[in-house]
């Protein structure tokens, strides 16, 4: 009985390790992408303002939710309807 559960346990452990590594790689890639988005948002790119705002608001990025709401407001002020919706929904 023990020999039949050991391969299953190893497969589960392998799946957990691979998932953890994929998440770690994804977070590293997002951090680089967030810096690029923030630079574009500061240059005036409305889609970048919305994207960085949403990432900050959800806690998936540099900054914090308060800064995310500010970026969403900036994009909404530029006429971005998606940002308008998300900004209003944040209250």
Contact 79, 69 (CB under 8 A): no
| pLDDT tens-place string over residues 67-77 | 888 989 999 99
pLDDT of 43 > 90? The answer is yes
Segment 21-31 shows an average pLDDT of 59
Domain coordinates of the chain in residue numbers?
2-89
Tokens 């452990």: give the residue. Answer: 13
């Amino acid at each position: 009985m023990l020999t039949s559960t050991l391969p299953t346990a190893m497969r589960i452990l392998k799946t957990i390790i691979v998932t953890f590594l994929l998440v770690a790689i994804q977070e590293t890639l997002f951090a680089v992408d967030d810096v690029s988005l923030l630079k574009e948002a500061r240059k005036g790119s409305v889609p970048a303002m919305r994207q960085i705002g949403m990432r900050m608001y959800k806690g998936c990025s540099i900054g914090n939710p308060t800064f995310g709401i500010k970026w969403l407001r900036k994009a909404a002020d530029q006429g971005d309807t998606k940002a308008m919706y998300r900004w209003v929904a944040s209250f």
